[in-house]
Amino acid sequence: MPTDLTNLVRDLDKAASKGIIHKKTASRKVSRAMRKSHAFICASSNLEAKKAQIDSESVKSE
C-alpha cells in the first residue's frame, strides 16, 4: 500500500475514533480510496503488459 494511502487510512481512522467524523463515513472514504488505488495499479500494469506485447511483436516482424 503506498505511503499516501496508508496516511489517509490512518488519519481517517484517527478522526473516526475521536468522533470528528462518523465511523461509517471514514469506512466509506477508505473504501473509495482503496478502489481508486487498485484501479490505477491495475491500469498501469495492463499498460505495461500491452507495451511489452507490442515490443515483442515489433521484434518478430523485423
Cell of 13: 481512522
Share of the chain above pLDDT 90, in %: 53
pTM (whole model) above 0.75 = no
Amino acid identity for residue 61 in this structure: S
Q: Work out the angle at residue 14's Cα, subtended by the Cα atoms of residues 11 and 19, and round it to the nearest 5 degrees.
A: 125
pLDDT of residue 46: 78
Higher-confidence residue of 55 and 32: namely 32
The answer to whether residue 40 scores a pLDDT higher than 80 is yes
Report the distance separating Cα 22 and Cα 17, nearest Å.
9
Distance, C-alpha 12 to centroid of its chain: 16
